[in-house]
Structure 1
Amino acid sequence: MSSTLLERTRALHEEIERSERLVSKDFHAEAKGHASRLAQNHRVLQCVEGIRKRSRELLEIYADEDGSRKDEVEGMAPAGDRVFSVFYERLKEARDYHRKHPGLELPSVDQEEEAFLQTTPAVDFSGEEANGRFLDLHIFHRTFTNSQKFGKKDVTYLDFLSTFSDLGLVPRHSKVNREYKAYVEDLVAYLAEFHRKSQPLAGLSDPLAAAEKEFRGKWERGEVVGWEDRGLGTSGDRTQAVVNLEDFETAADLEAVGADKIKEALVALGLKAGGSLAQKADRLMQTKGKSLGELDRKLFAKGGKPARDEQDARRRQELSEAVALSETKIGVLLGLMESTLSDTRRQVEKKATSTYEELVADMAELEEQEGGGRAGDDGGGGADDDEDEDDIVYNPKNLPLGFDGKPIPYWLYKLHGLNQEFKCEICGNFSYWGRRAFEKHFKEARHLHGMRCLGIPNTKEFGEVTKIDEANALWEAIKKKKQESRFVQEEDEEFEDAQGNVFKRKNYLDLQRQGLL
């Protein structure tokens, strides 16, 4: 009877103990610097995965479904004169087992364990990611700017980094297509893989599974923000990018938008776009809060699609659910990597304001730090580099950092007015430092989102307005002024008689009925 099963059990327990000892030793040594911490985490992950693998094999052995372990244990206690012969048989089998498996996966002596603790596992990062310090979203930026369905042209990479996480800025009607679905799914895959490589010990399965479970419940109840209709859609999804009908109560109010905008919205819905301004506005207001299938067929232009069949609606709903789930996962992943995203923005901004020589110097310094950290593992020469990397910069006034990573001079700080704080209540009482940043923020995503939540268009009339009460009051005044200046046919239309006299419509019709004209 073979004793290899018991010997394999003993070896697995021994390897697990070695792995645990390696993890304890690795964490006992303080890792200084980003590169050292990353290498330490990947070494620990390698040990943990080895423990999991061996533990699963041990569970199968102890389950003993085929009864081989039980037979082997019973064979270890022979009776009579066979005690010594069985002992030497077991010894021979053990020697044969070790002859066939001469090496273990983990080091077996102190010197080899120390060598293992000094290794740097190879992790595949791009040059832009700088060994896991920053995100590399250039490919998604190109996809966004080149897309004609959901993207925008002339968006810089820095602006994209500031707005891509707010997926609510993309109109709903631009999301329900396979191009956008592929975009968000690829973004989820990249962020998850980057998180796995840069934070190997921080598991993702639990937070993503919890987020997906919560999403499924909200989706069935119609509580997912922006997808309350579960993707079935209303006509407002297509018109919102042109005219937001929620801002208007009557067709007469809608006329203030202008004939061109109303026609564009009608064309987007596939409706008839002819007639007078009043007719166009009335036709568009009939679509408010309704799906395309609920509209009268007579409103549609030739070739328009008055309704979707049930199969098309089901496909749209499934596509919408997949897109909304991917957006939820993106929010979870970016929440876990919030500091990495902010570091990426600062790095891109720093590159934009640096000369070529400064960029080359920064790259050389970064390579020296990374190389010094690895060399220090062997000879101890990289300890100073790691300590320099983690040195805390003395910055009591919280000044912005320059291209060299040090605070800018205080006189330059005051010259640009960066000591002046401007708060915007519409942006959630967010503070902007310096007049330039304050003026620029009125066109940024945070302020646009705040205005959209208030139901107010972000036009030039609302420049410099930061209070919610002031914005609402100004919007009411603008609507009242538009109402007063609106053309009323009964009062403003004029008629001319044969002698050239001009009358109001009402007066002209009264005189005509009396036969005085």
Structure 2
Amino acid sequence: MSSTLLERTRALHEEIERSERLVAKDFHTDAKSHTSRLAQNHRVFQCVDGIRKRSRDLLTIYDDEDGSRKDELEGMAAENQEVYSLFYERLKEARDYHRRHPDLELASVDKDEEEFLKSRPRVDFSGEEAQGRFLDLHDVHRSFTNAPKFGNKDLSYLDFLGMFCDFRSIPKPSKLNQEYKAYLEDLDEYLVGFYGRSQPLASLGAPLAAVEKEFDEMWERGEVEDWEDKGLGASTSQVKDNPKLIDLEDFESAGDLEAVGGDRIKEALVALGLKAGGSLSQKAERLMATKGKALEELDRKLFAKGKKPVRNAEEAQRRLSLSKAIALLECRIRALMQLMEKTLSDTKKQVEKKATSTYEELVADMEELQDRGQGDDQGGDGTDNEDDENDNIIYNPLNIPVGFDGKPIPYWLYKLHGLNQEFKCEICGNFSYWGRRAFEKHFNEARHLHGMKCLGIPNSKIFSEVTKIDEAYALWENMKKKNSAVGFTQDEDEEFEDADGNVYNKKTYIDLQRQGLL
């Protein structure tokens, strides 16, 4: 039985070396399409995972806690046995071992290395995820819209994609419940699983561990965004020395406090977590009720929703643990979305495209995905022609603008709108505008306005079509000269009125008066 231990050690080393050779050989092949890269990464992950497991087995053998390896080595070095008899005895034991274990090859790869390198490991993706290209948050969105405490039933899926990781949009009082925590746990679980399926060679262990460590430090200091009060609501320790408060010792009654002003009283009430509505006298009375009292002693009806202080240590501990768990989940989800920022952007574009597509276009896209999936299953060569066409750069020698579908617009449309005509604006830093429409529109855009502002020239309609800096300066100087020359002249601009109500300038009025006509 002892010889099987050394044979197992030898087999493990061999399997590790073979896995390393397969990884190097697989990476030597250039995977051009998304599907091919994904399959390659999962094959490599299988090999790496096998190396990790076999390395653990080897460490257990070399630790030799039961002493079996030591006994075997001592038995092989025994001098009381003949060399040949010992050799044939070990050979017989090795053959018996291999006879009992015929499948000592790599469990994660096929015996034929070429066949393994052509294989495509099965990875479960939904139709919306499109082999790891997009996120599928429909279930999470449904949970959010159906949540009565924190959700919004009128929120569309596209709007949800734009706000689901912005947790500040949800009021904190709506978060302090188990339903919201379960929602965050489902979202976190999906994002971790999707990241592992779409990027199998990337590890989330170190990034998430760093996030949790930073979170613990910030939580102790009370610096976690939107959780500075740790979910405990208003408390005396957190409002003490707040510059927004009013020193009530300087006032004898609520009437004296009204002299401070409604806005200042409201600011102090908000800082204390109290209700800030009502008339000036009501707000003053509410604030004066806190004079000489701790917040915990006040009537809970005076506090705004979600700002009520805790009454006992048990309630405080329960709320604190729930708040910390929720805040940590929010930080984890933010960190995950930073890693998958491009995937989220692509998902939004895909949802917008589907929303503006006709039924026929949607059916065609589905058929294309099905054909592509069948081609992946039947291909087996690590290449995907359809994916290559989709992922590679489209041949566009004329630099024709790209349409909504990601392909160049028709050439006749390109010529019709004059997009082949280039207009340069020196004021905009020699920026090029293609087409007359874009050129005319840019005179009211931020780039041109900034350029005119840098020149010290007001951007008026008079400067439309002016793109040269020298021409703009010349026109501006000419305008200033005309404005200075056209001033007020008493003879021409001073008006006089006769007895009949007729209006004349000063020069005409005096001439008519001298002639006796007035």
Q: TM-score, normalised by structure 2?
A: 0.68
Q: Within 5 A, what are the aligned runs for 1:339-354?
A: 339-354=342-357
CA distance in 1, matches of 2:60, 2:316: 49
Determine whether 1:278 maps to 2:280: yes
User: What secondary structure sits across from 1:219 in the alignment?
Assistant: helix
Partner of 1:327: 330
CA distance in 2, matches of 1:312, 1:422: 57
Gaps of 5+ in 2: 237-243, 246-258, 420-433, 448-518
Residues 119, 401 of structure 1: alpha-carbon distance in 2 compared, 3 angstrom cutoff: same
TM superposition shift of 1:300: 4.5
CA distance in 1, matches of 2:109, 2:45: 21
Partner of 2:96: 96
Residues 372, 285 of structure 1: alpha-carbon distance in 2 compared, 3 angstrom cutoff: farther
Residues 423, 346 of structure 1: alpha-carbon distance in 2 compared, 3 angstrom cutoff: farther
Whether the 8 Å contact between 2:45 and 2:201 is mirrored in structure 1 is: yes
Q: CA RMSD in A?
A: 3.8
Whether the 8 Å contact between 2:33 and 2:384 is mirrored in structure 1 is: no
Aligned letter for 2:43? Answer: R
TM superposition shift of 1:100: 0.7
Residues 307, 10 of structure 1: alpha-carbon distance in 2 compared, 3 angstrom cutoff: closer
The structure 2 residue matched to 1:297, chosen from 296, 299, 304, is: 299
Whether the 8 Å contact between 1:135 and 1:344 is mirrored in structure 2 is: yes
CA distance in 2, matches of 1:400, 1:316: 53
Whether the 8 Å contact between 1:158 and 1:348 is mirrored in structure 2 is: yes
TM superposition shift of 1:406: 1.8
Determine whether 1:363 maps to 2:373: no
Whether the 8 Å contact between 2:265 and 2:287 is mirrored in structure 1 is: no
TM superposition shift of 1:118: 1.4
Q: Within 5 A, what are the aligned runs for 1:64-463?
A: 64-79=64-79, 82-106=82-106, 112-234=112-234, 252-253=262-263, 277-282=279-284, 293-294=295-296, 296-297=298-299, 300=302, 307-378=310-381, 383-393=384-394, 401-402=403-404, 404-408=405-409, 411=417
User: What secondary structure sits across from 1:56 in the alignment?
Assistant: helix
Partner of 1:469: none
Aligned letter for 2:322? Answer: L
TM superposition shift of 1:422: 6.5
TM superposition shift of 1:153: 2.9
User: What secondary structure sits across from 2:76 in the alignment?
Assistant: coil
CA distance in 2, matches of 1:334, 1:195: 10
Residues 102, 194 of structure 1: alpha-carbon distance in 2 compared, 3 angstrom cutoff: same
CA distance in 2, matches of 1:181, 1:294: 27
TM superposition shift of 1:365: 2.0
Whether the 8 Å contact between 1:129 and 1:136 is mirrored in structure 2 is: yes
Aligned letter for 2:406? Answer: G
Residues 183, 37 of structure 1: alpha-carbon distance in 2 compared, 3 angstrom cutoff: same
CA distance in 2, matches of 1:150, 1:405: 38
Partner of 2:461: none
User: What secondary structure sits across from 1:75 in the alignment?
Assistant: helix
Aligned letter for 1:278? Answer: L
CA distance in 1, matches of 2:333, 2:231: 19
Residues 186, 286 of structure 1: alpha-carbon distance in 2 compared, 3 angstrom cutoff: farther
Residues 305, 57 of structure 1: alpha-carbon distance in 2 compared, 3 angstrom cutoff: closer
TM superposition shift of 1:188: 0.7
Whether the 8 Å contact between 1:145 and 1:155 is mirrored in structure 2 is: yes
Residues 160, 30 of structure 1: alpha-carbon distance in 2 compared, 3 angstrom cutoff: same
Partner of 1:434: none
Residues 110, 226 of structure 1: alpha-carbon distance in 2 compared, 3 angstrom cutoff: closer
Residues 4, 277 of structure 1: alpha-carbon distance in 2 compared, 3 angstrom cutoff: same
Residues 328, 361 of structure 1: alpha-carbon distance in 2 compared, 3 angstrom cutoff: same
TM superposition shift of 1:254: 7.9
CA offset digits 1:16-41 (Å, max 9, x no partner): 01111111111111112111111111
Aligned letter for 1:387? Answer: D
CA distance in 1, matches of 2:36, 2:287: 63
Determine whether 1:54 maps to 2:54: yes
Q: Which moved further from structure 2: 385-394 or 138-147?
A: 385-394
Whether the 8 Å contact between 1:211 and 1:329 is mirrored in structure 2 is: yes
Q: TM-score, normalised by structure 1?
A: 0.68
Gaps of 5+ in 1: 237-244, 425-517
Aligned letter for 1:330? Answer: I
Identity %: 57
CA distance in 2, matches of 1:215, 1:341: 24
CA distance in 2, matches of 1:423, 1:283: 51
Residues 152, 81 of structure 1: alpha-carbon distance in 2 compared, 3 angstrom cutoff: closer
CA distance in 2, matches of 1:305, 1:191: 34
CA distance in 2, matches of 1:57, 1:384: 42
Whether the 8 Å contact between 1:128 and 1:135 is mirrored in structure 2 is: yes
Partner of 1:10: 10
CA offset digits 1:297-325 (Å, max 9, x no partner): 39649xx9775222111111111100110
Greater Rg by CA: 2
CA distance in 1, matches of 2:176, 2:323: 6
User: What secondary structure sits across from 1:176 in the alignment?
Assistant: coil
Partner of 1:445: none
Whether the 8 Å contact between 2:9 and 2:58 is mirrored in structure 1 is: yes
CA distance in 2, matches of 1:291, 1:56: 63
CA distance in 2, matches of 1:387, 1:80: 68
**How many corresponding residue pairs?**
397
Whether the 8 Å contact between 1:219 and 1:230 is mirrored in structure 2 is: yes
Whether the 8 Å contact between 2:211 and 2:335 is mirrored in structure 1 is: yes
Residues 341, 170 of structure 1: alpha-carbon distance in 2 compared, 3 angstrom cutoff: same
CA offset digits 1:286-343 (Å, max 9, x no partner): 799x999446339649xx9775222111111111100110000001100111111001
